[in-house]
Structure 1
Amino acid sequence: MSGSVGLARVLEPAGVLPQAAWRLDASPEIGPDEVRIRVQRLNLDAASYRQLAQKHAGDGAAIRAEVLAIVGDRGKMHNPVTGSGGMLIGVVEEVGPESPLQVKPGDRVATLVSLTLTPLRITDGLRDWDGLGEQVPADGTAILFGRSIVGVLPDDMAPELALAVYDVCGAPALVDRVVRQYSAPTVLVLGGAGKSGSLSLAAAKRAGARTTAIVVSAAERDALQRTGLADEIAIADARNPVAVFDAAGANDITVVCVDVPGCEHGAILATAPGGTVIFFSMATSFSAAALGAEGLAADVTMLVGNGYVPGHAAFAVDLVRTVPAVRALFEARVAGD
């Protein structure tokens, strides 16, 4: 068991799993059930990148320096403020003889597990990254464990597009699962114009839901309006519970895809009794969600989107392939990065 979940890579503190560890051993030599990846590109999660960009007032060089410092200090990309990381793409270099992962040397892959638990070593100083976007050209090595998840990149998508899709592929699969437990539900997505938000809207509509999106600006509203993914779109501050409820009313399912803290109470208030709230944002305070629901006497089920549902990567890729509006949103986002 210790090898399969990466315990041998934990340097401190002893006795915890790699995600909870402060520091990992990122050395490139692999154990019998490990896989080494030659890193080509990181995708920082939205909450982590936003925090770094705000801290350094958009100074790309300072952002780059802090990412290098985090990886150097911790042996992984694990933002100590947000607790989140992201994911990466690269090429398989070596596969241990006991690895259960279905990859071979030369495969171009995306890791479908968080950078917060992936031993990572950067060797190029991130020289090709200006620090001004979530996608980070990089050279180095990463290690996958026996119980890691990895996906071979699809041939019909640019690697940057595939990375952006894989980064949030857990969201639409879980939304699909939850929506199908209801009969023609109403679904509210906070942050509907983003990556996980747009995929969640597409999954909800495909499963037969009526969809509403909350966005933060007229520009996001207009971009989302052109896609037809949302039946209704409202501009509101997702951190303002009354504004969210006034804009969206009570819904059967609320999906939180906003990468800023403070959106828990609005999501709960906008969910009907007996409904479900799905938290996909890494900026979520789960204590605030639990205590807020109690304080509002809200009879709602609250789910943590843990990023994994069986078949989630294929499900998300299929949405991008078959819903042109989703692909257009993602391509625009990647071009902006």
Structure 2
Amino acid sequence: MTSPVGLHRVLEPVGVLPQAAYRLDPSPAIGPDEVRVRVERLNLDAASFRQLAEKHAGDGAAVRDEVRDIIAARGKMHNPVTGSGGMLIGTVDEVGPESPLGLEPGDPVATLVSLTLTPLAVTDGLARWDGRGEQVPCEGHAILFARSIAAVLPAELAPGLSLAVLDVCGAPALTARVVAERLAAGRGVSVAVIGGAGKSGSLALAAAGRAGATRTVGVVPVPAERDRLVAAGLADAVVLADARDPVALAGAVSGALGGPADVTVVCVDVPGCEHGAVLATADGGTVIFFSMATSFAAAALGAEGLAADVTMLVGNGYVPGHAELALGLLREVPGVRALFEARLAAD
């Protein structure tokens, strides 16, 4: 008997949900409410890829071998250091008669749930991947549960471009929701996005502007990213700061906005940015953490130590309508598309 949340696929330890499991069963035979997807490309989340690349000093072959070994050992892509995974695109192979996902065999899809809870088997040894970019061409299959989420890929967009956008589509949706809620309550809505030139950061800036933010600032660590973000026109101001330096970060944000941000969105893939984000946020403001490199203990204890009256939200990757909103921003905001296409070309 299958479980809508995938309990029947957990091999060890028994009794936990698939995301918390050490090992899943990725066998291809599906239950009545499952879907099997023929995998074509994985997208490793930024924090996981950075950790692997730094561990192996940029040796792509070593990165590839470790990703392959993680999938083989765990039946899913679940980085044991960062605790994160990514997502995938592929083609629906088979749909169980009781699946509620509305998918049909042959549909090109992106999974909108983490690889850390998706049963996955790779059959080509990742032979077509050089280990030097977040997107991983591969062959294999994945299993979706009744409670999984997937989106049919738009025909007019290149699959790699859709994958890059859908990998981070929770960020703009939650940013837009927070901005709209503050506006409705008559509260200030200046927005700082830390990591504003990245995938989730650029979408968050665009979403904040569309939702009515009064002023936006993008924070980036190096001049090259500053120049790209300025050219994209997604923020009212772009500033240079190391997000791991709390005082410098808070000073840069306050200098650009005339004071701390009402909403701070953290979209960087390095640890140690929690205290700066809190310090850069006004009392009564909101910090949204979209980075899998975040230490939530450090965020909570840091806010306590600073006597900071801020609301801290964990971006869990899902907001109703998130895929449609992110793809709409890609289609309608030229600066977003330019940044994504440049990033894919560089990879």
TM-score (norm 1): 0.99
Aligned length, in residue pairs: 337
AA paired with 1:234?
V
Task: Please name the residue that 1:259 is paired with.
Answer: 269
Does 1:236 find its partner at 2:241?
yes
Where do 1:183-202 residues align within 5 Å? 183=183, 185-202=189-206
Tell whether the 8 Å contact from 2:44 to 2:85 is kept in structure 1 after alignment.
yes
- The SS at the match of 2:224 is helix
Task: Please name the residue that 1:123 is paired with.
Answer: 123
- For 1:247 and 1:90, the matched residues in 2 are separated by 42
Q: Pick one of 313, 325, 330 that aligns with 2:335.
A: 325
Where do 1:22-41 residues align within 5 Å? 22-41=22-41
- The SS at the match of 1:83 is coil
- For 1:92 and 1:239, the matched residues in 2 are separated by 42
- For 2:103 and 2:125, the matched residues in 1 are separated by 28
Tell whether the 8 Å contact from 2:63 to 2:131 is kept in structure 1 after alignment.
yes
**Which digits, 9 at most, give the CA deviation of each residue in 1:111-132, with x for residues without a partner?**
0000000000000000100000
- For 2:286 and 2:341, the matched residues in 1 are separated by 31
Task: Please name the residue that 1:305 is paired with.
Answer: 315
Where do 1:1-337 residues align within 5 Å? 3-183=3-183, 185-209=189-213, 210-249=215-254, 250-337=260-347
Please report how far the alpha carbon of residue 182 of structure 1 lies from its aligned counterpart in structure 2 after TM superposition. Answer: 2.0
**Which digits, 9 at most, give the CA deviation of each residue in 1:28-85, with x for residues without a partner?**
1111110000000000000000000000000000000000010011000000000000
The 1:211/1:139 distance shift into structure 2, 3 A limit, reads same
**Which digits, 9 at most, give the CA deviation of each residue in 1:199-222, with x for residues without a partner?**
000000111111011101000000
- The SS at the match of 2:313 is strand
Tell whether the 8 Å contact from 2:2 to 2:33 is kept in structure 1 after alignment.
no
Tell whether the 8 Å contact from 2:9 to 2:26 is kept in structure 1 after alignment.
yes
Please report how far the alpha carbon of residue 166 of structure 1 lies from its aligned counterpart in structure 2 after TM superposition. Answer: 0.3
Q: Percent identity between the aligned chains? A: 73
Ranges in structure 2 where 5+ consecutive residues have no aligned partner: 255-259
AA paired with 2:101?
L
- The SS at the match of 2:182 is coil
- For 1:25 and 1:119, the matched residues in 2 are separated by 6
AA paired with 1:334?
L
- For 1:218 and 1:270, the matched residues in 2 are separated by 21
AA paired with 2:289?
F
Ranges in structure 1 where 5+ consecutive residues have no aligned partner: none
AA paired with 2:135?
Q
AA paired with 1:283?
A
**Which digits, 9 at most, give the CA deviation of each residue in 1:152-200, with x for residues without a partner?**
0001110000000000000000000000122351000000000000000
Please report how far the alpha carbon of residue 2 of structure 1 lies from its aligned counterpart in structure 2 after TM superposition. Answer: 5.8
- For 1:328 and 1:225, the matched residues in 2 are separated by 12
- For 1:293 and 1:325, the matched residues in 2 are separated by 34
Please report how far the alpha carbon of residue 334 of structure 1 lies from its aligned counterpart in structure 2 after TM superposition. Answer: 1.2
- For 2:160 and 2:345, the matched residues in 1 are separated by 9
Tell whether the 8 Å contact from 2:42 to 2:88 is kept in structure 1 after alignment.
yes
- For 2:111 and 2:202, the matched residues in 1 are separated by 22
Q: CA RMSD in A?
A: 0.9
Please report how far the alpha carbon of residue 335 of structure 1 lies from its aligned counterpart in structure 2 after TM superposition. Answer: 1.3
AA paired with 1:4?
P
Tell whether the 8 Å contact from 2:37 to 2:143 is kept in structure 1 after alignment.
yes
TM-score (norm 2): 0.96
The list of structure 1 runs, each at least 4 consecutive aligned residues, that deviate by more than 4 angstroms after superposition, is none
